Chains A and B, each alone.
Chain A
Amino acid sequence: MTSTNEANPQAEKLFALLAMLLSPLPDAWSEAIMRRVRFGFTLAKAKHQRSDFAQAERAQMAGGNLVSTVLGIAVAVIVGVGVSIPVVNDVLASSNITGLTATIVGFIPVMLGVLIFVATVGPIMGQ
């Protein structure tokens, strides 16, 4: 990453070309225009560097999020399949529900399983 104070050879060539084009103008005008152009270039360069920093920070945050996601999904599978689904099944078996209600409520453990599966597959789809 280059600092704002370092000279950019390509930019310097363009400045020289612009100065040559402005040479027919009075010196005061030419110098004022060149100062404005150089100032604009410096501002743009600084903004670009800030953007690089922000990108690096975002990348670091994304890495942290990735670890959290993997950890979170592993915990979700363990708690979901080890606790939630057995508890729901036990409650449904003990509640003596019959008919259409039993059919609909019986899909709750399936939906829990699908929910956790979608959570595991979600990050893959986001790649």
Chain B
Amino acid sequence: MPSNNAQTVVMLALVAAIGVIGLAVAAPVVSSNTGTQSVTNETVTATTGEYSSLDGFDIDPSTTVVYGYNDTSGSYETTTEYTLNEGPGEIQFDIQNSTLIDDGEDVKVTYDYQATDSLTGLVAGYLPLGIGLMVLVTVASRIEGLM
């Protein structure tokens, strides 16, 4: 049976490994879900008279660019024939007047949205630091106990 010290060392190594792996996963999750986020070329199917839901919410209209497919040139081109509902993140295309967008066609939308307000972003931004501190202080205090 290993001694208590050996068990503690193995346990601390496990705690450090799990903590660092958790931190490596948590940090990108925090950064990609707080503050202003950008969505590039989200594909939405245009339907006459209906709003289509976008992945984002609280969308910044000044950053929104909509690309419709030009059948003649065979490429996507920008269009302004749409109505954006910024809060819930919905978009409706003016299919009847548009030369680029047809009913049932895929449209690409690029935009920025506010994933969290500044206060939530501030608090959430400290979470990776909290995990790192927790692992560091825990391991350090146990090592101190061994000395």
Contacts and interface: CB of A to CB of B under 8 A. Distances in A.
A79 to B, nearest CB: 9
Interface string A101-125: 0000010011011101100110110
Nearest to B58: A93
Most A CB contacts (10 A, CB to CB) among B4, B116, B117 go to: B116
A110 B123 contact: yes
Contacts of A81: 26, 29-30, 33-34, 124, 127
B26 A56 contact: no
Interface stretch (B17-25, B39-47, B101-109): B17-25
Determine chain B's interface SS by DSSP, over half rule: helix
Given A70-B135, A81-B124, A124-B137, 7 more contacts: A56-B4, A67-B11, A74-B23, A78-B26, A81-B127, A96-B88, A124-B138
A3 interface: no
Contact of B87 (A67, A70, A93): A93
Contacts of A78: 22, 25-26, 29
A101 B141 CA distance: 45
Contacts of B130: 117, 120-121
A60 B34 CA distance: 38
Determine chain A's interface SS by DSSP, over half rule: helix
A117 B135 contact: no
A127 B58 CA distance: 42
B8 interface: yes
A94 B59 CA distance: 12
A34 B92 CA distance: 98
Nearest to B133: A124
A78 B30 CA distance: 8
B141 A127 contact: yes
Chain B, interface size category, equals 35 or more
Nearest to A82: B29
Given A73-B134, A86-B115, A89-B57, A94 B29 contact: no
A113 B127 contact: yes
Contacts of A120: 127, 130-131, 133-134
A100 interface: no
B120 interface: yes
A60 B127 CA distance: 28
Contacts of B117: 106, 109-110
Nearest 5 CB-CB pairings of A with B: A74-B22, A120-B130, A113-B123, A93-B57, A63-B11
A102 B11 CA distance: 46
Contact of A70 (B22, B58, B88, B141): B22
